[in-house]
């Protein structure tokens, strides 16, 4: 299963997925999906060459190019993204001060890359 993450409701989402029996999770940044390519030789059937559009969920199952983790590890990864979102908000507000100029945008791109993306959670039994 793949769902778009609402980080404001991550606890409810993870509780629901756990109650449905899902035990393995992968956090996938949507900005990288158009760059995904099938693994050499395929993992779950024959590989096909396909280019996903921006905003798609991309490959599924063992074809994913990211690590599958347990619920606790996924929650930690989500916490890292949330922290960067919050910091990017502060930097964005500070960036409106005339003395910083465009420095705020450079800080966000360089030091807060996770905040520049939207995410899907893939869940497997």
Give tens-digit pLDDT for 51-101.
Answer: 888 877 788 888 887 889 999 999 999 999 999 988 888 877 776 766 656
Instruction: Using the structure block, give the residue that is written with the tokens 């993992």.
Output: 43
Read off the DSSP letter of residue 54: T
C-alpha 118: how far from chain center? 6
Task: Please give the C-alpha separations between residue 66 and each of 25, 63, 73, 121, in angstroms, as whole numbers.
Answer: 10, 9, 13, 11
Instruction: Map residue 82 onto helix, strand or coil.
Output: helix
- pLDDT at res. 43: 64
Asked if pLDDT for residue 104 goes beyond 70, the answer is: no
The torsion angle over the Cα atoms of residues 36, 58, 9 and 79, rounded to 10 degrees, is -20
Would you give the DSSP letter of residue 53?
P
Which position has the higher pLDDT, 71 or 36? 71
Q: How many structural domains does the chain have?
A: 1
The residue segments making up the domain with residue 23 are 2-124
* Distance of alpha carbon 53 from alpha carbon 50, whole angstroms: 10
The whole-model pTM stands at: 0.80
- Between 51 and 26, the higher pLDDT residue: 26
């Amino acid at each position: 299963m793949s769902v778009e993450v609402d980080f404001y409701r991550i606890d409810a989402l993870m509780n629901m997925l756990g109650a449905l029996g899902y035990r393995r999770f992968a956090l996938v940044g949507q900005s990288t999906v158009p760059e995904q390519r099938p693994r050499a030789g395929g993992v779950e059937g024959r590989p096909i060459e396909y280019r996903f559009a921006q905003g798609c969920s991309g490959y599924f199952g063992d074809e994913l190019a990211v690590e599958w983790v347990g619920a606790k590890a996924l929650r930690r990864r989500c916490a890292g993204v949330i922290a960067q979102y919050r910091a990017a908000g502060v930097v964005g507000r500070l960036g409106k001060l005339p003395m910083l100029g465009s420095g705020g945008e450079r800080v966000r791109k360089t030091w807060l890359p996770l905040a520049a993306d939207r995410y899907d959670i893939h869940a497997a039994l």
